[in-house]
Amino acid sequence: MKTRYLPVSVLLLALLVAMPAGAAAWEELSVEQKQLLQPFQARWDDMPEDRRERLMRGADRWSLMPAQKRQEAGQRFRHWQTLTPAQRDNIRARHNDFRQLPAEEQQRVRERYRRFRQLPPEQRQALRDRWQSMSPDERRKARDTWRDIPPEERDRLRERWRNMSPEDREQFRERWRDMSPEQRRRSINQQRGRSGGRRGG
């Protein structure tokens, strides 16, 4: 009789061992985790398990960060705290959209962001201001126009922009601002035709 229940006992024991332990209770956290997660102590044990796991992973990542990265992350967190709930929801939605993109497109977005971060602060601010001044329809059209340009053509346009003098850039901006979306498309297509003709000839 005993031997008949032995395999069942072994199976139950194996299942218990194989089951994930789940997020730790507050008392089971390391001293460093407790220090980092102190603001959550009062409600820790009542939090959903997945939230506790995310916080624990975040605390572990934080403890492994170099000082400079910690400082940057701290600044981002303080900025996050100043946002309204609607702004936070908007950022979460954009982050979720980003995660749905194919890996290749995510890489392109990261590369564009990296280039943006390398611009001088006043140039970044000017770009932000210009974007903020556009209507939602203008923003959509600008995104669509840029997406329609093949990657190699975008690279050529970027290179041309980098080689322009500040005065030439300002003149170009003024002409571009005065153009309708259709005129902008025609201008891009004409530029493509010229560069295509040069390559072919």
> Does residue 173 have a pLDDT over 80?
no
Domain ranges of the chain: 165-201
17-21, 124-128, 185-189 — which is least confidently predicted?
17-21
User: In the prediction, which pLDDT does 196 show?
Assistant: 56
What's the pLDDT tens digit per position in 103-161? 988 898 898 888 888 888 888 888 888 888 888 888 888 888 777 778 788 778 878 87
User: In the prediction, which pLDDT does 19 show?
Assistant: 36
Does residue 187 contact residue 179 with C-beta atoms inside 8 Å?
yes
What's the pLDDT tens digit per position in 56-110? 888 888 888 898 988 988 898 889 889 999 999 999 999 998 899 899 888 988 9
